[in-house]
Amino acid sequence: MVLDLTSLISGKVNSLDFEYDLGNDGDENVLIPPDDVSFASTAHVKGTVVNNAGYMTLELTAELCYTTHCARCLKDISGKFILKFNRTVANSGTLQDEDNDAYVIMKNGKLDIDRELVEELLLEFPSRFLCEEECAGLCPKCGKDLNFGPCDCPKKKEIDPRLAILQKLLEND
């Protein structure tokens, strides 16, 4: 979304509130989910830009509903990821390094926040999800969900085949 900040810059208003759904305006900044994750809807974004005597700040909250599976037991899970995004707004050409992540750049009184927001959502979005913190996962032999109790597999500890050659060294002693 491109915000017109001319009323904020001129001093007519001290803050500018906005609310929209990310990617609904046909913009190329569409959020592509990571593997094994699907988004139930677009990210809902709500925020404000505040001008404090020429020092402008952008504060927003993005909410994103997702569905995926547990990384240990493969149970389907869904939830809502909430991202708080705070940046200082700087005018184009006023910074020595405009690639600094602490700033969003305003050009000709307009501020495009989607690119930085999509990047931040993808960086902060978790790479693994668990149905619960104490999830026991699946048995590597029979595939039973260990959250419902132990499996009937023999409890003999097997050596990883990649490390079996090292077992021969221990047998020679």
Model confidence over 14-42: pLDDT tens digits?
899 999 988 655 555 567 777 888 888 88
Residue 74 — pLDDT band, cuts 50, 70, 90? very high
Say if CB 36 and CB 69 are below 8 A apart.
Answer: yes
Which pair of tokens denotes residue 84?
A: 């708080």
Residue 58 confidence (pLDDT) above 90: yes
Residue 97 confidence (pLDDT) above 70: no
Alpha helices in the chain (DSSP H): 6-10, 114-124, 164-171
pTM for this structure?
0.74
Residue 45 confidence (pLDDT) above 70: yes
Residue 100 confidence (pLDDT) above 70: no
Q: What is the pLDDT of residue 82?
A: 95
* Distance separating the N- and C-terminal Cα atoms of the chain: 70
Higher local confidence (pLDDT), 146 or 91: 146
The mean pLDDT value for 6-13 works out to 85
Q: Report the distance separating Cα 45 and Cα 59, nearest Å.
A: 10
Which pair of tokens denotes residue 33?
A: 């989910």
Q: Show me where the domains of the chain are located.
A: 2-124, 136-173
The mean pLDDT value for 88-107 works out to 74
